[in-house]
Amino acid sequence: MNVEVEREVDGRWIAEVPELPGVMQYGQTRDEAVAKTLALALRVLRRS
């Protein structure tokens, strides 16, 4: 699973999984954004 991560102008981090529309999360740190995004991706995949 590919996770793309960027830092916003306000300092927050945003991570997303491009293959799963709508799977993106913000975090105060890069690691937090990635962890939250992966957790959401797993929930989405389980519902499929």
Which pLDDT belongs to residue 38?
98
pLDDT of 1-48, one tens digit each? 899 999 999 999 999 999 999 999 999 999 999 999 999 999 999 997
Dump the DSSP string for 12-36: -EEEE-TTSTT-EEEESSHHHHHHH
Contact present, 19 and 30 (Cβ < 8 Å): no
Supply φ then ψ for residue 9, to 5 degrees: -60, -35
At 42, which helix (H) or strand (E)?
helix 30-47
Whole-model pTM: value is 0.92
The sign of the CA dihedral 37, 43, 45, 48 is negative
Which pLDDT belongs to residue 48?
77
